[in-house]
Structure 1
Amino acid sequence: MQDETASETQSMQLMVADRLRAKIIAGDLETGVGLSEIALAAEYGVSRTPVREALKQLQTEGLVEIRPRVGTFVSTPTRSDMVELFQMKEILEGAAARLFAARGEIPELVALRANVARSDEAVARDDVDGYTELVGEFHDLIVRGSGNRKLRTHYTMLMNQLAYPRLVATSLSRPGRLVESDAEHGRVLAIITAKDESTAERLMREHVRASQDALLGAMVFPGETKQ
């Protein structure tokens, strides 16, 4: 009976963590907002124990901050935090592109061609929302194409901390960035197709860096004032 109770508690903990993670990543829970154990327990129909453990898990992932005797809050990244996260993104995606290029004609390459073709069409229509969705797929395909499961695991945790879907639209708000981003995707595809490993890594890193510059130029962080 104790084992069943422990198993049920763990299952509820995972459920709460999954739902909260999805809300934070999607932006349904704003950065800095407080999270009440009592309210969350009522919302998900569980006791406070799985909620408390779920929040600890999300703190480990960098999505929430637990302040003893104060409360739990959705993490608010600083400009320095964002730079460091993008530095890691650049390293991981650069490595993924290099590994991808070495693998030749694999299903992910076919999917990447289709993604870039749809992206070109979206840009031609000035369909920012459509292109924004395709950006996430493009980067996911790069990582999947590496064939490295460990890299993908670390990448997934990193992207959760970035809450990436919310950031893409912000980076694309810079004039001209939509066309630039699409062109960069096309160059990465071409060089991966050509199996040029070192250039694939360089171009992918340059693309991530350009996205970072566009994003940081458009964001205002705590303690800053809009220029």
Structure 2
Amino acid sequence: MQEPTSKRLNQTSMQARVAEELRQMIISGELAPRSSLSEMALSETFGVSRTPIREALKQLQTEGLVEVRPRVGTFVAVPSRRDLTELFQMKELLEGAAARLLAFRGNVPELELLQANMRAADEVVRAGDAERYAELVHEFHDLIVAGADNGKLEAHYRTLMNQLAFTRLVRTSLSRPGRLSESDNEHHRVLNLILAKDGDGAERVMREHVRLSHQALMAEIDERQGYGTNGV
């Protein structure tokens, strides 16, 4: 006998809520890489049955955030060095294209927001507040992608950012000596080219910025005890 429509919709809603909350916990680092994800424990945490938990974990596995090891358990995924390199290569392509598209759009609302973001970033860099700067980095890149006004590009970008757990990785890269001010300067160069409507220059400098961020991240990972080739 088929389940009532209202019950199926309720289960779908619960699954979506659980998936979104777990996704954010992984991306933010609240659930650390390699953390065990017990269906029973999560069921108690979220106050739902194990069915929406199981379906949510399947969804996050598809997104690359969760790893299922048969007969062992389910864990927060740890990207390998190859995974990180491939994801950053895609990030470079998408964000470079976004910067180019935004430069050609003219005076759109995102430009004013980007300038406000840079003013705030300059202040926190002077204060040495890496935690707040990491939040502003996320906002800066989001605004450029949103400002490109390309739904397909943005959809691929959101999936990519989830797989990277980008906020956590930014904090890691900013641990490198001098990286805070270097990153801020790179953002200024990108924005100046966008404001000058230099699409070619904006794309080139944005791609260079992403490569430098990747290099800083990998250098920091290499120096941290217990990281190395198995990921972060």
Category of TM-score, reference length = shorter chain: over 0.9
Alignment of 1:8-157 (within 5 A): 8-157=10-159
- State the one-letter code of the partner of 2:119: A
What secondary structure sits across from 1:66 in the alignment?
strand
Corresponding residue to 2:166 among 146, 164, 167: 164
Q: C-alpha distance in 2, partners of 1:28/1:199?
A: 37
Aligned length: 225
Q: C-alpha distance in 1, partners of 2:75/2:128?
A: 37
Q: C-alpha distance in 1, partners of 2:166/2:146?
A: 17
What secondary structure sits across from 2:92 in the alignment?
helix
**Structure 1 unaligned blocks of 5 or more:** none
Q: Counterpart in 1 of 2:6?
A: 4
**Residues 78 and 222 of structure 1 are in contact (CA less than 8 Å); yes or no, is this contact kept in structure 2?**
no
What secondary structure sits across from 1:112 in the alignment?
helix
Percent of residue pairs bearing the same amino acid type: 60
Q: Counterpart in 2 of 1:179?
A: 181
Aligned-residue RMSD, C-alpha:
1.5
Deviations 1:62-89 (A, max 9, x none): 1001122322111011111111111111
**Residues 34 and 74 of structure 1 are in contact (CA less than 8 Å); yes or no, is this contact kept in structure 2?**
yes
Deviations 1:145-182 (A, max 9, x none): 10011111111111111111111121111111111111
**Structure 2 unaligned blocks of 5 or more:** none
- State the one-letter code of the partner of 1:94: G
Q: Counterpart in 1 of 2:216?
A: 214
Give 1:223 shift.
4.7
Give 1:137 shift.
0.7
The runs of 4+ residues in structure 1 deviating greater than 4 Å are: none
What secondary structure sits across from 2:128 in the alignment?
coil
Q: Counterpart in 1 of 2:195?
A: 193
